[in-house]
Copies of this chain bind each other. A is one copy, B any other.
């Protein structure tokens, strides 16, 4: 859970799974069916999710009768963070994960009513972060901005309670 992983310039891994396998190899870690299953599932859609949702979804995929346990979910997620394939943020006391490989840096709008997450990108914001860090002589590594508010849908139909999914 620490050192950044630098891809060697020679081999350019293309799929998340390939990249993950390289990462594992470089660390002397092993590739298992659970890890493959999890990575393939996670990168088959571009959605935000938490550990519980992942666990449920993987258990429903009966095709693979390969069950994956909760501890393993957490262990693999942690490796994926180390590998730079996923990013995480805390929302309502739980960790929310999202792709960090092959997707541009972005931040989020969060609907306080239905929990919806909408992504946005702002170069101007990146500039500000860098500038603020410089001013305080911080070495800038990353940032997280969440704009909290009410989404258009919820603004219309007032007061329903978190009806849907994390998009």
Contact = CB atoms under 8 A, between A and B. Distances in A.
A89 B146 CA distance: 11
Interface in A71-112: 90, 93, 109, 111-112
A143 B148 contact: yes
Interface string A140-165: 11111111111110010000000000
Copy number in this complex?
2
A133 B109 contact: yes
Interface residues of A, number: 33
A133 to B, nearest CB: 5
A128 B133 contact: no
Interface stretch (A6-14, A15-23, A39-47, A118-126): A118-126
B155 A139 contact: yes
A65 interface: no
Given A120-B132, A146-B143, A109 B93 contact: no
B120 A147 contact: no
Given A120-B135, A137-B151, A139-B149, 19 more contacts: A90-B90, A90-B93, A109-B132, A112-B141, A118-B138, A120-B132, A124-B128, A125-B128, A133-B149, A136-B152, A137-B155, A138-B149, A138-B150, A138-B151, A140-B147, A141-B148, A143-B148, A144-B146, A145-B145
